[in-house]
A and B are shown apart, each in its own frame.
Chain A
C-alpha cells in the first residue's frame, strides 16, 4: 500500500497519523454557494466577471468585478442569525456547512475540545471597520455601533464558527497578504501532526467592497482594459473577485478510524516569503520557488510527476512573469509541459479565497474532474501548456496549487489522489 511506504524528509516513515487528508470542502464564490457550481463553471470556462452596476464606477479605470451574487444567497442566510452577520461570516459559515456535510459530520463525530478553526484573510474585517471609521469621521465616536465594533476583530469569523458548532480547540485567524491560504494549511498540518487537534476547519475569505475596489484602482493594480488575461502579453492588471472556501482536514488515520471517505491527500506543503521589498514581490519569484520546492520535497515528488498546476497569476505584468520564472527555476523543462491554468481569468483575484479555490480545483482534478480552462489568454507571452479543454490528456494523480502575493508571501500545496 502506498500509504505505508511514504518517507518523511528526515528519513523516518510517514505513518497514517502524519498524513493530512481533506474529508470535506465548501465554497461561496462568484458562482454562488457550493463547490459544484464553482468547479463546473471553471471547467466550462464560464466567466463570472461582470460590469459593476450597483455603485458608481465612472471615476475608476477598472469597471468590472467578479462578485458573489447576493440575491442567490439570501435564501440560505435567512435562517438563524446569519442574515445579520457580516458577509465574511456568512460566506465562511455557508462554506463550512457544505464542507461538514461532505465530511459526514454529525454532532458526535469529534470531541469538540479537539476541533479548531484556522482561517486566513487579506483584508480581514475591513468592510466592518470601514463602517466604524465612517461613523467616527462623519459623526462622533460615541455613536459608533457596539454590535458592529465587536465584528472588527479578524477572529470574529472563526469565533462565530466555534460558537455555532461548539468547537473548543485553538482557533487561529491569520493574514499573510492576499495569498495566505497555504499558510493556514501549514499551521493546520502542524497542529494535526503534533496531535494538538483531531480535525481542523481550515479556510479563507476575502470580500470585494466598494472601498477596496476604489483603493486598488487608485494605486493602479486593476485592469483599465477590464479584462483578466493571465500570461497574455497584453495583460495590464487584475479584476477583483471575492469569496470564501473551507476544507475539513484530518489525518488519514483519524479519517479512516471514523469511517470517513478522504477526498485527497495534501502530500506536500510549502510556504515562504520573498524577503524582497515591502509591497513588491521578487522579480524571479524567489518565495514561490522556495514554496514549490518545499511542497515537492515534502511529497517526494519530482517536477515531472505533477499533472496539473492551478496557477496564482492574476493578469498583472510582474506577478505572472515572476510565477513563470519560479516554475522554470524549480521544474526546468517540465514547466512548459505541465497542464496549467489560472482561475483568475474567470473569477478575478479573490485574494486569499483564490488560494482555496485553487486547492479545490486540484482536489477535483485528482478525483477525475474537469480542469479549469484558461480563459482570457489569447496571446500567451510564455511557453506554457495552458489548459484549453477540461479533459486532461493524461489522468491527474498529482496536482499543485500555487498562491503568490504582491507583498511577497507565497505558498504551494501538492494534492495527491488516494
Chain B
C-alpha cells in the first residue's frame, strides 16, 4: 500500500484573496494586502497597519442565531473548512468519520481582536453568571486555542486525533506535518489540517514593544527592512493517502512529500545567527521526501522582514543549497502580513499554487538589495516558470523551525 500523502483540497482566507483562485491571482499580480487596521483602535499602537481579511461578510456564512456564539477565529476556520472540503469533493457521508482527525496551527485561537472584547468575557472586568440566552459560555470556551480544532471536529462529527499545534510562527506547518505523519503511520487515511489566527491587539502591542513591526512597509530581504507586519488568515487542507484519494477518484493538487523540524535551543526571541536550526529543518524535510536540494525549484521563505530573520534564513538556505545556489526564494509576507500560527499553513498554500499554476510569487517592496541577502528573491513581480518540487519554510519564536516539501502530482 502506498503511503504517499496527497493534498486534495485547500480552503483559504487571506488578505489578498478569500479562496484558492483569488489567492493565486493575488500572488500572481503582486497584490499588497496591507492597510490601516480597522478591527481595533490602533491610534495608541506603535504600528497602525496590518493585513486584515477584506471583502468577506461572515453573516452570509452563518445564521443570525449562530453568529454571536462564534469568535472571529472560529468563523474564519469554519469558512475555510467548508471551502476546503467542498474543493476536495470528499463526501463525508461515505467516509468513516471516526477516523478523520483535525490538526490546526494557531497562536491566538478565538482571542478577541480588541480590549473591549476581552474585557466583556473575562474576570476581573466581567462578573456574574451568564443568562441562558447569552453567548458568553461559548465565547469563554472559544477564547482558548483548542477551540479551533474542537469547532471543526464538532461541525463535521469527526472522531480522529484532534488538536491545535501552538508553536508560535511555525505552528501551521507543523500542523500539516503532524497530519502527514498520522496518515503515513496508517492511523488515518484522511486528515484535515491547516491553521487560523485572527488579528488582535494583544500581539499588535506585544510585537510593537519588541520593536519587531515595520515603520512603513514590510520589505523582506531589502537592506532597509525594519520589521514585519501582522496579518490574519485561515487555511484548511484535506490530506489523504494516495490510495484513498485514487479510490474515490479525487483531483490531486500535490504530494506532501516531506516534512522536518528542529529547535535552535538558543534564545527565546533571538534566532541563532548561524542558521543551523532552520538548515536542519530543511535538510530533514528533504530527507523525509527522499530528495536532493537540486530537485527543489522554488523556496517559499519564512521571510518576516525583520533584520535578523532574513539574513539568517539566507544563510541557512545557502548552507543547504550551496553558497552559489540560484534557486529562487520569495517571501509573500509583504502581501499578506504575518499571520503567526496560521502563516505556516496558509503560506504553504502559496507554494502549492506556485507548483500548480506555474509562477513564482514575488517579494514586494524589495527596493534596496542587501549585500548579506544575495539570493534570487523574485523582487516586485511574479515570474512564470515550471516547477517539479518546492520547499516551504516556517520559523517561530523560541527557535522552533519547520520545513516541508511539496511535489507536483503527475496523475
CA gap between A389 and B163 in the complex, in Å: 37
What sequence of 0s and 1s flags, for each residue 327-357 of chain B, a beta carbon within 8 Å of any chain A beta carbon? 0000000000000000000000000000000
Quick check: A113 and B118 within 8 Å, CB to CB?
A: no
A124 interface residue (CB < 8 Å to B)? yes
Quick check: B154 and A129 within 8 Å, CB to CB?
A: no
| Contact A116/B158 with A136-B205, A273-B153, A409-B150 known, Cβ cut-off 8 Å | no
- Please give, as numbers and ranges, the residues of chain A lying within 8 Å of B45 by CB-CB distance: 141-142
Known pairs A133-B122, A287-B159; list 8 more (Cβ under 8 Å).
Answer: A137-B115, A149-B209, A154-B168, A168-B280, A170-B174, A171-B261, A171-B400, A272-B162
**Which secondary structure characterizes the binding site on chain A?**
mixed
Which B residues between 148 and 198 are near A, CB-CB below 8 angstroms?
149-151, 153-168, 174, 178, 181-182, 184-186
Closest 9 pairs between A and B when the two form their complex, measured CB to CB? A159-B398, A170-B261, A149-B206, A154-B166, A214-B123, A141-B205, A176-B163, A273-B162, A175-B146
- Please give, as numbers and ranges, the residues of chain B lying within 8 Å of A174 by CB-CB distance: 163-166
Quick check: B280 and A177 within 8 Å, CB to CB?
A: no
A19 interface residue (CB < 8 Å to B)? no
| Contact A163/B266 with A175-B164, A286-B159, A408-B154 known, Cβ cut-off 8 Å | yes
Quick check: B201 and A136 within 8 Å, CB to CB?
A: yes
Interface segment among B19-27, B96-104, B358-366: the answer is B96-104
B396 interface residue (CB < 8 Å to A)? yes
CA gap between A144 and B158 in the complex, in Å: 40
Quick check: A276 and B154 within 8 Å, CB to CB?
A: yes
- Please give, as numbers and ranges, the residues of chain A lying within 8 Å of B151 by CB-CB distance: 278
| Contact A408/B153 with A137-B115, A141-B201, A173-B167 known, Cβ cut-off 8 Å | yes
CA gap between A250 and B310 in the complex, in Å: 36
Q: List 15 A-B contacts (CB under 8 A).
A: A136-B205, A141-B45, A146-B206, A149-B205, A149-B210, A150-B206, A153-B397, A159-B268, A174-B163, A174-B164, A180-B146, A190-B182, A275-B157, A279-B142, A408-B154
Quick check: B168 and A278 within 8 Å, CB to CB?
A: no
Quick one: closest A residue to B112, CB to CB? A133
Give the contacting residue for A271; candidates B140, B156, B161; CB below 8 A: B161
B218 interface residue (CB < 8 Å to A)? no
Residue among B46, B149, B181 with max Cβ neighbours from chain A (10 Å) = B149
What sequence of 0s and 1s flags, for each residue 260-289 of chain B, a beta carbon within 8 Å of any chain A beta carbon? 111111111100000001001000000000
CA gap between A169 and B147 in the complex, in Å: 28
CA gap between A292 and B106 in the complex, in Å: 28
- Please give, as numbers and ranges, the residues of chain A lying within 8 Å of B123 by CB-CB distance: 210-211, 214-215, 218
CA gap between A102 and B145 in the complex, in Å: 33
Quick one: closest B residue to A272, CB to CB? B159
Interface segment among B28-36, B130-138, B245-253: the answer is B130-138
B90 interface residue (CB < 8 Å to A)? no
